[in-house]
Chains A and B, each alone.
Chain A
Amino acid sequence: MKTLLQKVLVLCTILSASALFAQGRIITGTVTEANGPLPGATVVIKGTSTGTQTDFDGNFSIEAASSDVLSFSYVGFKTLDIQVGNQNSINATLEADNSLAEVVITGYGSRSRDLSTAATTTVSAGSIEDFVPSTSVDNILQGKAAGVQVTAANGQPGQTAFVQIRGVGSINAATTPLYVIDGAPIEAEFVNNINPNDIETLTILKDAATVSKYGSRGANGVILITTKRGRSKDAKFVFRSSIGTSERIADPFDLMNASQKLELERQYAALGVPQAQGLPGATSSPEELARLIGNDTNWEDALLRKGYIQSNSLAISGADEKINYFLSLGYDKNTGIIDRIDGFERISARLNTTYEARDWLTVGTNISASRSTTDLPRDRNNVQNPFRFLYDANPYETLFLRDGNNEIVTNADGEPQFNPTTSGFPVAQALQTEPETNTNFLLVANIFADLKFSDKFSNRFAVGTTTNRGRTVARSIAGGTLDPIVGDSNFPGTQRESLNVDFQYNVSNVFGYKDTFGEKHNISADVLLEYNERIFTRTNVSGRGFPSADIPFLDVAADFSDGGSTEVRNSLFSQGLFVDYDYDGKYLVSASVRNDASSRFGPENQNAIFYSGSAAWNIAKEDFMEGSIFNDLKLRASYGSSGNQNIGNNQFVNLIGFGTYNGNSSAVPGGIANPDIKWEQQFLADIGVEFGLFNNRISGVVDYYVKTSEDLLLNRPISGLVGDGNNGILSNIGKIENSGLEVALNFDAIKTEDWRVSLGGNIAFLDNEVKELVDGEDINNGNTILRVGEEINTFFLVEYAGVNPGNGEPLYLTADGDVTNQYSADFAKTLEGKSPLANIEGGFYGNIRYKGFGLRGDFVFKAGNYIQNFQRSAGVQIGNIDSNQRVEAFNYWQQPGDQNVLPNPLYEATADQTSTRFLEKGDYVRLRTLTLSYDIPSKLLDRTGLSSVRIYGTGQNLLTFTDYEGDPEIGIGSAENSGPGDAGFVAGQFSLFSYPQTKSLTFGVDIGF
Chain B
Amino acid sequence: MKTIKTFITIFIMTLGLTSCDDELDIAPFTQGDADTFYNSVNNFEVAINGMYSSFFNYYSNGSGVQGLPDILSDNAIIARTGRGSNQVFSDFTYGANNGGYITSVFNGAYTTIRRANLIISQIENIDGEAERDNILGQALAGRAFAHLDLVRTYGKIPTQSADANASLGITYIKEPIDALSQLSRETVASNYENIIADLTDALDLIDETTLVDEDKVEGAFNKNSVRGMLSRVYLYTGNNQAVIDIVDEITAPLATRIEIPGVYTDSNDAGLLVEFAVNTASESNFNNVGVIYSQTIDGSTVSEFAVDFGLFNSLQFSDVRTNIITFAAENEGNDYNAINKFIGETEQVNGRVDIKALRVAEAILNKAEAQFELGLEGDALQTLDLLRAQRFSPFTIGTETGQDLEDAIQTNRRIELAFEGHRFYDLKRRGDAIERGTFGDLANGTGTPNTTQTLEAGNFRFQLPIPQAEINVNPNYTQNEGY
Contact = CB atoms under 8 A, between A and B. Distances in A.
**A and B physically associate:** yes
B26 A489 contact: no
B16 A529 contact: yes
B28 A650 contact: yes
Interface string A473-490: 000000001001111111
Nearest to A486: B350
A511 interface: yes
Interface string A523-537: 000010101010000
Contacts of A562: 284-285
A720 B213 contact: no
Most A CB within 10 A of own CB, among B24, B25, B472: B24
A575 interface: yes
Contact of A663 (B16, B97, B282, B474): B282
A98 interface: no
B402 to A, nearest CB: 38
Nearest to A454: B5
Nearest to B92: A909
A725 B51 CA distance: 12
A573 B114 contact: no
Given A723-B112, A723-B113, A825-B96, A424 B179 contact: no
A664 B212 contact: yes
Nearest to A568: B29
B46 interface: yes
A4 interface: no
A599 B448 contact: no
Nearest to B96: A825
A575 B13 CA distance: 13
A417 to B, nearest CB: 8
A571 B219 contact: no
Interface string B260-294: 00000000000000000111111111001001000
B159 interface: no
B111 to A, nearest CB: 5
A423 B85 CA distance: 11
A420 B297 contact: yes
A674 B448 CA distance: 53
Contacts of A10: none
Nearest to B442: A278
B283 A720 contact: no
A717 B472 contact: yes
Nearest to B114: A723
Interface residues of A, number: 92
A670 interface: yes
Given A424-B83, A656-B34, A662 B218 contact: yes
B347 A490 contact: yes
Most A CB within 10 A of own CB, among B21, B180, B277: B180
Nearest to B85: A382
B77 to A, nearest CB: 12
B49 A666 contact: yes
B295 interface: yes
B271 to A, nearest CB: 19
Given A542-B285, A573-B24, A722-B114, A360 B5 contact: yes
B349 A489 contact: yes
A486 to B, nearest CB: 7
B87 interface: yes
B53 interface: yes
Nearest to A663: B279
A654 interface: yes
A604 to B, nearest CB: 13
Given A453-B9, A569-B29, A721-B183, A909 B23 contact: no
- Number of chain B interface residues as a range: 35 or more
A511 B37 contact: no
Contacts of B448: 274-275, 277-278
Interface string A504-519: 0000010100000000
Contacts of B111: 723-725
A825 B95 contact: yes
A669 interface: yes
B215 to A, nearest CB: 14
Interface string B284-315: 11001001000111111010000000000000
B272 to A, nearest CB: 13
Given A662-B52, A662-B277, A882 B24 contact: no
Interface string A655-684: 111111111111111101110000000000
B467 interface: yes
Given A719-B473, A720-B107, A661 B49 contact: yes
A782 B21 CA distance: 42
A237 interface: no
Interface of B: 1, 5, 8-9, 12, 15-16, 20-21, 23-35, 37, 43, 46-47, 49-50, 52-53, 56, 80-84, 87, 91, 93, 95-97, 106-107, 110-115, 117-118, 171, 173, 177-183, 212-213, 218-219, 277-285, 288, 291, 295-300, 302, 331-332, 347-350, 440-441, 447-451, 467-470, 472-474, 477, 479, 483
Given A424-B297, A658-B32, 7 more contacts: A420-B332, A485-B297, A533-B23, A597-B24, A721-B470, A826-B479, A882-B80
19 contacts: A275-B448, A425-B297, A486-B288, A489-B349, A561-B284, A599-B23, A606-B24, A657-B30, A657-B31, A657-B32, A658-B30, A661-B52, A665-B49, A667-B50, A719-B473, A720-B107, A722-B178, A723-B173, A825-B95
